[in-house]
């Protein structure tokens, strides 16, 4: 019983890092590997798995920068948490790319919540960052509501016939 209590924190770390995807064959990542890597990335903090995470981040970001099909553009003012923790920009870019690799549009609120989950597992988390994420959630809800109302209204309004 005592042994299990002493080993528990180490086992948790090993278990989390052990779920990381295998390195790509031949050292050349492809879209499928990048998707798997980013899905795993969203489950760990920024300081976790330091023997894996820096290389994984570098490989995924390099692949994304060279991709002809995945394009991520962001306006930093849409994501207020970046003012408090600019190091989260990498995670945000990866999360936005992940939805394209899944061929599925996520709500901005889902994106904020996923990045928030990574931040909460990291050393950057504090009360100011929590408030910035609260603000980002409010902005995301408004953007999502606006996108929904724009999708519901016809995009082409032809000339009126009288």
Return the structure tokens found at 162: 């009288």
Cβ-contact 35, 27 below 8 angstroms: no
**Residues 114-127: pLDDT tens digits?**
999 999 999 999 99
**Residues 84-105: pLDDT tens digits?**
999 999 999 999 999 999 998 8
**Residues 65-78: pLDDT tens digits?**
999 999 999 999 99
Q: What local confidence, expressed as pLDDT, does residue 122 receive?
A: 92
**Is the pLDDT confidence value at 160 over 90?**
no
Residue 29 backbone zone (phi > 0: left; psi -120 to 50: alpha; other: beta): beta
Q: What local confidence, expressed as pLDDT, does residue 39 receive?
A: 95
Q: What local confidence, expressed as pLDDT, does residue 24 receive?
A: 85
């Amino acid at each position: 019983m005592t042994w299990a209590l002493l080993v528990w924190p180490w086992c948790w770390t090993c278990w989390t890092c052990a779920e990381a995807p295998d390195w790509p064959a031949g050292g050349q990542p492809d879209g499928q590997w990048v998707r798997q890597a980013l899905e795993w990335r969203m489950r760990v903090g920024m300081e976790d798995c330091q023997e894996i995470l820096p290389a994984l981040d570098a490989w995924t970001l390099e692949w994304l920068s060279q991709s002809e099909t995945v394009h991520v553009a962001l306006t930093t003012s849409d994501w207020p948490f970046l003012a408090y923790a600019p190091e989260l920009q990498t995670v945000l870019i990866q999360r936005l790319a992940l939805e394209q690799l899944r061929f599925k549009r996520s709500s901005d609120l889902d994106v904020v919540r996923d990045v928030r989950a990574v931040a909460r597992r990291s050393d950057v988390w504090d009360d100011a960052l929590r408030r910035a994420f609260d603000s980002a959630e409010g902005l995301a809800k408004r953007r999502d509501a606006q996108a929904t109302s724009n999708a519901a209204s016809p995009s082409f309004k032809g000339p009126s016939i009288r």
